[in-house]
Amino acid sequence: MAAEALDQLIRLLAKLPGLGPRSARRAALFLLRHREGLMVQLAGALRAAAAEVHPCSLCGNLDGADPCRICTDPRRTSDQILVVEDVDDLWAMERGGLFRGRYHVLGGTLSALAGIGPEDLGIERLLGRIERDEVAEVVLATGVTVDGQTTAHYVAERIARLAERDHPVRVTRLAHGLPVGGELNYLDEGTLEAALRARQSVA
Ligand SMILES: [Zn+2]
């Protein structure tokens, strides 16, 4: 029988994405065998990240500063916003240095099934930024899933209504050719760059 602390460790590890009970046991063993070199350092890194890393109140990116370093970077243009589902999609764009505007992280997609509505995705916050920062273009880069498409359609519609009563905003989508059901963060940089360069206006 494993000790209580070990049981607890395995139970928690098994909650990580991609890890079942079997791989959680393997990971726990590995950690215990690399106690000083890895386990203690990992414990410290977890504690520090939990205390210091938070969502940016403007864009939803995860960072140690709020607003995040992307939102406050003066070299980036504030008149373009790229809308992504999640922070790892933002990271995928940033890895390739593909985009020099700012981001808006929805934190998911609209989903009737999961009970996720516009208010859960910070869409009002996005509309507020568009007005305040006089954003000229919003690039919709949600996934090519049913929920991702529904969300993009909804956001485009809300922006169109906004644009009618104020300044015009160009709404674009990443070019087609992305694999169906594909998520941004699984795409290589070349594919992402091509999709961004060939982005198309939403009617
Ligand atoms: Zn930010």
| Residue 177: per-residue pLDDT | 60
pLDDT band at 37 (very low <50, low <70, confident <90, very high): very high
Determine the distance separating the centroid of ligand 1 and the alpha carbon of 73, expressed in angstroms.
Answer: 10
Q: What is the mean pLDDT of residues 52-72?
A: 96
* Averaged pLDDT for residues 16-34: 95
pLDDT digits (tens, 9 = 90+) for 134-191: 899 999 998 888 888 899 999 999 999 887 776 789 999 987 665 555 567 777 888 8
Question: How far is it, in rounded angstroms, from Cα 203 to Cα 200?
Answer: 9
Kindly give the distance from the C-alpha atom of residue 103 to the centroid of ligand 1, in angstroms, as a whole number: 7
The residue among 84, 95, 79 whose CA lies nearest residue 174 is: 84
Distance 14 CA to ligand 1 centre (A): 31
Rounded to the nearest angstrom, the distance between the alpha carbon of 176 and the centre of ligand 1 is: 27
Between the CA of 97 and the centroid of ligand 1 the distance, in Å, is 16
DSSP 98-125: ---SEEEE-SS--BTTTTB-GGGGTHHH
pLDDT computed for residue 188 by the predictor: 80
Q: How far is the CA of 2 from the centre of ligand 1 (A)?
A: 44
Instruction: Using alpha carbons only, give the angle 58, 63, 68 rounded to the nearest 5 degrees.
Output: 40
The secondary element (H helix, E strand) that includes residue 81 is strand 80-84
Distance from the alpha carbon of residue 90 to the mean position of ligand 1, in angstroms:
11
pLDDT confidence tier of residue 203, bands split at 50, 70 and 90 = low
pLDDT at 179: 56
Report how far ligand 1's centroid is from the alpha carbon of 62 (Å).
8
Q: Is the CB of residue 166 less than 8 Å from the CB of residue 134?
A: no
Distance 59 CA to ligand 1 centre (A): 4
What is the value of pTM for the model shown?
Answer: 0.83
CB 110 within 8 A of CB 150: yes
pLDDT digits (tens, 9 = 90+) for 73-120: 999 999 999 999 999 999 988 988 889 999 999 998 998 888 999 888
Report the separation in Å between the CA atom of 159 and the middle of ligand 1, taken as the mean of its atom positions: 20
Tell how far the Cα of 100 is from the centroid of ligand 1, in angstroms. 13
